[in-house]
């Protein structure tokens, strides 16, 4: 594992890996773990947006819908150019979820020295993530997120992913950046598969 992590770090440099998946597929969990392993900074569009909503007292995403693209550009894209991030690789959690936004994300990342070198998709069915949603409600382990407050809102998030985000994933596939990972395994198994797939990609591009 150490050799694979070292190979990924050397290949990535100050580049970026963007992780996508359905709500509750484990994007932030896996992204944080990967960032820690390779010495990267972790950026989540959801965390950034919820912080900005609190700061501006707006509730643009509370109904489960994606925020407008112009607001996404204003709130999220500037993070790529932050001085405190410039010397680090980045692990991104769903940065640019609406089809068309990915081109601006790619450009902003490249301009800031964080070229997107791989995009991970955590493959899991809607039925399985709905099961995770119900389990999380029982465990009460999702905090006070408004977009997780009821099943109708959660289903809106699933529809947004299906209609708006899957075309983004397809575009990354066309660009040769996509890495598919089975999101139905245990957290440890998902992480191990993700590292293996990124290692293979890194070796192929050496």
Say which CATH number the domain at 98 has.
3.40.50.300
- Is residue 23 a part of any domain in this protein? yes
Is residue 169 within 8 Å of residue 98, measured between CB atoms? no
Q: What is the pLDDT of residues 59-116, one digit of tens each?
A: 888 889 999 999 999 999 999 999 999 999 999 999 999 999 999 999 999 999 999 9
- Is residue 205 a part of any domain in this protein? no
**What pLDDT score was predicted for residue 200?**
96
- Is residue 206 a part of any domain in this protein? no
**What pLDDT score was predicted for residue 34?**
98
**What pLDDT score was predicted for residue 148?**
58
Burial class (CB in 10 A: 0-12, 13-18, 19+), 142: middle
DSSP state of 66: P
In b/e form, how buried is each residue of 66-88, taking b as 16+ CB within 10 angstroms? bbebebbeebbbebbeeeebeeb
Q: How many domains does the chain have?
A: 1
SS3 content of the chain, % helix, strand, coil (to 5): 60, 15, 30
State which residues form the domain around 174: 2-200
What is the band of 152 on the pLDDT scale with cuts at 50, 70, 90?
confident
């Amino acid at each position: 594992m150490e050799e694979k992590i070292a190979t990924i770090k050397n290949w990535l440099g100050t580049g970026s890996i963007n992780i996508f998946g359905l709500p509750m597929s484990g994007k932030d969990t896996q992204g944080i773990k990967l960032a820690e392993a390779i010495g990267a900074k972790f950026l989540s569009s959801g965390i950034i947006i919820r912080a900005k909503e609190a700061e501006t007292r707006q509730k643009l995403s509370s109904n489960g819908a994606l925020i407008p693209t112009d607001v996404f550009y204003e709130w999220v894209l500037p993070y790529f150019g932050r001085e405190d991030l410039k010397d680090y690789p980045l692990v991104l959690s769903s940065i640019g979820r609406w089809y068309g936004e990915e081109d601006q994300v790619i450009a902003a990342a490249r301009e800031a020295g964080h070229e997107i070198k791989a995009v991970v998709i955590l493959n899991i069915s809607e039925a399985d993530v709905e099961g995770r949603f119900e389990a999380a409600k029982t465990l009460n382990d999702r905090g006070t997120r408004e977009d997780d407050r009821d099943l109708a809102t959660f289903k809106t998030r699933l529809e947004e992913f299906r209609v708006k985000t899957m075309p983004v994933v397809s575009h990354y596939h066309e660009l040769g950046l996509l890495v598919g990972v089975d999101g139905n395994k245990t957290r440890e198994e998902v992480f191990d598969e993700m590292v293996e797939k990124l290692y293979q990609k890194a070796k192929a591009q050496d």
